[in-house]
Amino acid sequence: MILVTGASGFIGQNLINYILLNTNESVLAVTRYLDNKNSSERVEWVSWDMLEQTTDRMFSTSYYLSEPAHKPDNEELQIELEIANEYREKFLRFLTKNSTRSLVYLSSSNVMGTSLSPSCNEDSQPQPVTRMAIYKLETEAKFQEFCESRSFSCVVLRSSLVYGQEPKGNLLILSKLVSKIRVVPFKANTNKRRLISVESLCELMIHIISRKNTGHEMFLVSDDIEYNTSDILNYYQRLSNQKVLYIPLPVALFKIFLKMLGKSKLYDSLFGNYQFDCSKLYRLSGWKPSHPTMQSFFSNSA
């Protein structure tokens, strides 16, 4: 059996579907609210309160996905982090009363910083800026320490931004932009950013624990190509079947405009570079994304 926390979230739902389609495993799915979940007979849904009453279960792998993502640093995030901390402690208590061979924690590449260069890799010094990134780095350390004191492995996946047909955060902003306007002035933007499709991420999460001698590892994770903002807009434009005209206005104009609006961080997120080296992941795991990337999506849709 596989344990998945955060099971009703965007990534959690996709991971469970991938497990059901590609393995024979059953799933214990943990969520904040049950809401009469309907699913496969191979999926058992429990709330966090119910999880604490579960004992003496054996899991091949436990996936921890129960954290807020893509939230601004404000009071709402502080409340979410307090709840996340409560769930994290419940999860660790749960593991003391049950057994698992591997723990996979979905962290974020944001723990490395908000503007990364191609030379950034797993040996680079983390430089978290946001409260969410700081919290994730703290969680990495807690889980690694916990696993080292027991006989199971801990794999930390520092994932880049995850894209799919249900966008979140800044990707949601871009997809809404495409749906509302017909002229997009970003064609001149040539930034490079790392992202990963939700299908590839789910594939990796299953693949990574199938290796022999899986120990305590940390990987930076993304598709094996880089994108720019125009690629992302083009992707969501084609998903929505909207016809959009791209024009090449200077990117500097947007920097000035967003700064006037007090949205300088949004400029960095949309137009800045965000690159890092994924070679360790590909070298040690033997994994490469087999699902279509944005670029192949463009080719198939042309």
Q: What residue segments make up the domains of the chain, in order of their start?
A: 2-163+196-223+275-291, 169-191+227-273+297-301
Which residue, 279, 264, 291, 148, is CA-closest to 206? Answer: 291
Highest mean pLDDT among 123-127, 172-176, 262-266: 123-127
pLDDT tens string 188-242: 677 888 989 899 999 999 999 887 666 789 999 998 888 887 777 777 777 777 7
Measured distance CA(276)–CA(224) in Å, rounded: 11
The answer for residues whose C-beta is within 8 angstroms of residue 105's C-beta and 6 or more apart is: 64, 139, 140, 143, 154, 155, 156, 157
Handedness of CA 75, 78, 79, 80 (dihedral sign): positive
Handedness of CA 161, 109, 278, 144 (dihedral sign): negative
**Residue found under tokens 């962290």:** 107
The predicted pLDDT at position 290 comes to 78
Q: Does an H or E element contain 88, and which?
A: helix 75-97
Lowest mean pLDDT among 10-14, 17-21, 230-234, 243-247: 243-247
In CATH terms, 2-163+196-223+275-291 corresponds, of 1.10.1750.10, 3.40.50.720, 3.40.190.10, 3.40.718.10, to 3.40.50.720
47 CB neighbour count, 10 Å cutoff: 13
241 CB neighbour count, 10 Å cutoff: 7
183 φ, ψ to 5°?
-125, 120
- Provide the whole-model pTM: 0.87
